Amino acid sequence: MNHPIYLLISIIIGTSIILILTRTTVFITENNQETIQEEKVFQNFATTQLILEHYLKKIGFKSSVYPIIEADSSRIKFLCDEDDDGLIDSVEIRLGDIVENTQNPNDCKLIMKKNNDEQLITPYGVTKFKLEYFDVNGIPTAERLFIRFIKINLRIESDFPIRNYYLFYEDNFIIRPRNLG
């Protein structure tokens, strides 16, 4: 029973069991990180969507002139009384520069400028922010005077990769500002 072959077999079996347990632990840890990052990405998307809906639904609120000043595929500038104080505010929402303090090379800021006061809607994670505009019949339009609906294509990615890819959530949503006719 004390033959060297039995000792060698015991060492191989013991090492195999330790390797299996180590791989299982690593797998569980990676799955936990992935789950946490997925939740973080989805929460970031949901919050960003709520903020965009809040501001874009107010386009033209209490404005006596046509409220959309500029509208292109990555930014919109409009007038509204955002905080209902009787003063017309100028609001601009646009995709900002690439963020350099995350591992994701595509991370950008989403910026809102209200009366020349710049604020971050989301400081990182936005990799796509595309605006499309539609008239009253649902036909795409580039003419700001005919805009009645705004379609937003938004993609949020994780700030670091898991298993060599960035987790993401992407969706389209349509906003119909109440004060655009």
Q: What is the pLDDT of residues 13-29, one digit of tens each?
A: 888 888 888 888 877 77
How much is the mean pLDDT over the chain? 91
Neighbours of 123 (CB within 10 A): 17
- Note the pLDDT tens digit of each residue in 53-91: 999 999 999 988 999 999 999 999 999 998 889 899 999
**3-12, 103-112, 154-163: which range is least confident on average?**
3-12
Residues 6+ apart with CB under 8 A from 132: 73, 140, 150, 151, 152, 153
- Model pLDDT, residue 1: 56
Select, from the ranges 23-32, 94-103, 106-115, the one with the highest average predicted confidence (pLDDT).
Answer: 106-115
In this structure, the number of other CB atoms found within 10 A of the CB of residue 24 comes to: 10
Q: Global pTM?
A: 0.82
The per-residue pLDDT for 4 is 78
Average pLDDT over residues 163-177: 93
3, pLDDT greater than 80: no
